[in-house]
Amino acid sequence: MKSKASLKISTSYFGQPHLPHVELLLFTKYLSVLLRSGLPIDEALDILLQQSKGPLQKILTTLKSTVRMGKTLSDGLQEFPRTFSPVYLNLIRAGESSGTLQGNLDQLSIQLQKEHDLSQKIRGAMMYPMIILVVGLMITIGIVVFVLPNITGIFDSLHVELPLSTRIVLWISRVTQTHGIAIGFGLSAFCVAFFFLLKWEVVKPISHWVFLRIPVFGKINRQTNLARVTRLMGILLQSGLPISEVLEISRSVLRNVYYIRLFQALKDGVGRGSTMTTVLESSPFLVPPLALRLIRVGEETGTLGEMFLYLAGFYEQEVDDLTRNLSSLLEPALIIFIGLMVGGLALSILSPIYKVVSSV
């Protein structure tokens, strides 16, 4: 029998195995398929264990032992909070209580798949513009660091007054050549410090306010938050969880400060007997009128879970359309920016030479 000390170590948050999102999605799908085929939970886990390796093998070993000791699957899952979120645990627990475990696993698969698709769409939309920006910056840095130092002597021998842009470019080249390592370390330290600054609780209200209001990106951010939370609420409600518990779970998985505050107010308002629509009407920027109308219909007709799932599909499509158009919106702006940057650099180099040639 394990001692309390060893149990504490085995359930340590940072010392336990962790599944990436894609592996968690596949585990959930395969377990759902095996249960749908009529296999008992312990045999399904055993089949998955035979085909697994790495962190998943360790998790499945624990789950199999837990189930064979007469405990529930959710008892085993809660030993791995790094992998299985409160949403996951509550849906599994609700499925075990109501006899709809396989159906809830299907819902979890859909939720995980939608989250994966949203992340992939946003990353895919940003990939091409980032490549263009990085290539443009690399070309500029290459000219400043490797080309300009070799032609500085030419400018000195021209004996003409250099344009301001040329003097600035030459100064940047000299500073980069002399203090390049220090500048590199300084920029790296600034980026790391800025990243940790954004994680600081005091700064989050400011940074999250900005993230919600940046043109194009702010709209994607708001609709991504709405897509995730409405799908989650729809799944939880259809699983039979009470609205108070649904709101608490949904609030716990949100990351934006303003949506967290909204859902805390929503939970408090519903607890006092108010409708969800009444509370949400005070935040039209975070929850648009379309969502409010559908939520009101859901409350009046008792189809709130279905309305949340419909809203999730709607906002997922909106995010899909926005991210698909994002590259075409950013591409011209980035090309113009890089063209101006490289063209201005070339003009700064050539204009003194042209001035001398034209005066001969």
Same domain? For 80 and 124 the reply is: no
pLDDT single digits (tens) 106-157? 888 888 888 888 788 777 777 777 787 788 778 777 777 777 777 776 766 6
The Cα-based distances of 262 to 45, 79, 236, 256 in angstroms read: 40, 31, 19, 10
Please check whether residue 234 lies inside any domain of the structure: yes
DSSP code per residue over 209-249: HHHHHSTTHHHHHHHHHHHHHHHHHHHHHHTT--HHHHHHH
Mean pLDDT for 11-25 is: 72
| Contact by Cβ (8 Å): 101, 303 | no
Domain housing 293: 115-360
Same domain? For 37 and 137 the reply is: no
> How many domains are contained in the chain?
2
* Confidence (pLDDT) at 6: 32
Q: Is the pLDDT of residue 88 over 80?
A: yes
Mean pLDDT for 333-345 is: 79
Same domain? For 327 and 231 the reply is: yes
Mean pLDDT for 175-187 is: 82
Q: Percent of the chain at pLDDT above 70?
A: 92
Please check whether residue 107 lies inside any domain of the structure: no
Same domain? For 184 and 73 the reply is: no
Greater confidence (73 vs 141) lies with 73
pLDDT single digits (tens) 226-256? 988 898 888 888 888 888 888 888 887 788 8
Please check whether residue 89 lies inside any domain of the structure: no
Q: Is the pLDDT of residue 3 over 70?
A: no
Mean pLDDT score of the chain, rounded to an integer? 82
Mean pLDDT for 26-43 is: 89
Same domain? For 128 and 29 the reply is: no
The distance of Cα 55 from the centroid of its chain, to the nearest Å, equals 23
Lowest mean pLDDT among 156-160, 180-184, 349-353: 156-160
Please check whether residue 108 lies inside any domain of the structure: no
* Confidence (pLDDT) at 348: 78
How many Å apart are CA 257 and CA 283, to the nearest integer? 14
Radius of gyration of the chain, Cα coordinates, nearest whole angstrom: 28
Buried b (16+ CB within 10 A) or exposed e, 34-69: bbeeeeebeebbbebbeebeebbeebbebbbebbee
Of the residues 34, 68, 84, the one at which a domain ends: 84
CATH code of the domain containing 9: 1.20.81.30
Confidence of residue 266 (pLDDT cuts 50, 70, 90): very high
How many Å apart are CA 240 and CA 234, to the nearest integer? 10
Long-range contacts of 244-248, Cβ-Cβ distance < 8 Å, separation of 24 or more: 244/270, 244/271, 245/90
Mean pLDDT for 81-90 is: 84
Same domain? For 140 and 76 the reply is: no
Nearest to 260 by CA among 249, 269, 271: 249
Same domain? For 158 and 239 the reply is: yes
* Confidence (pLDDT) at 311: 92
Q: Work out the angle at residue 224's Cα, subtended by the Cα atoms of residues 223 and 229, and round it to the nearest 5 degrees.
A: 100
How many Å apart are CA 344 and CA 194, to the nearest integer? 30
Q: Is the pLDDT of residue 48 over 70?
A: yes
Q: Is the pLDDT of residue 25 over 60?
A: yes
Same domain? For 133 and 246 the reply is: yes
Same domain? For 170 and 50 the reply is: no
Please check whether residue 21 lies inside any domain of the structure: yes
Please check whether residue 94 lies inside any domain of the structure: no
Which single residue is written with the structure tokens 């189930």?
A: 67
The Cα-based distances of 229 to 109, 251, 312 in angstroms read: 15, 9, 8
How many Å apart are CA 81 and CA 185, to the nearest integer? 37
Those residues whose C-beta lies under 8 Å from the C-beta of residue 136, and which sit 6 or more positions away, are 334, 337, 338, 341, 342
Same domain? For 159 and 271 the reply is: yes
Q: Is the pLDDT of residue 7 over 60?
A: no
Same domain? For 170 and 308 the reply is: yes
Q: Is the pLDDT of residue 258 over 90?
A: yes
* Confidence (pLDDT) at 2: 38
Dmax (CA) of the chain? 96
Mean pLDDT for 92-116 is: 84
Mean pLDDT for 154-183 is: 77
Q: Is the pLDDT of residue 95 over 50?
A: yes
> pTM, whole model, 2 decimals?
0.72
Which single residue is written with the structure tokens 């627990």?
A: 93
Please check whether residue 136 lies inside any domain of the structure: yes
Same domain? For 49 and 171 the reply is: no
Please check whether residue 349 lies inside any domain of the structure: yes
Confidence of residue 160 (pLDDT cuts 50, 70, 90): low
N-to-C CA span, the chain:
96
Q: Percent of the chain at pLDDT above 90?
A: 10
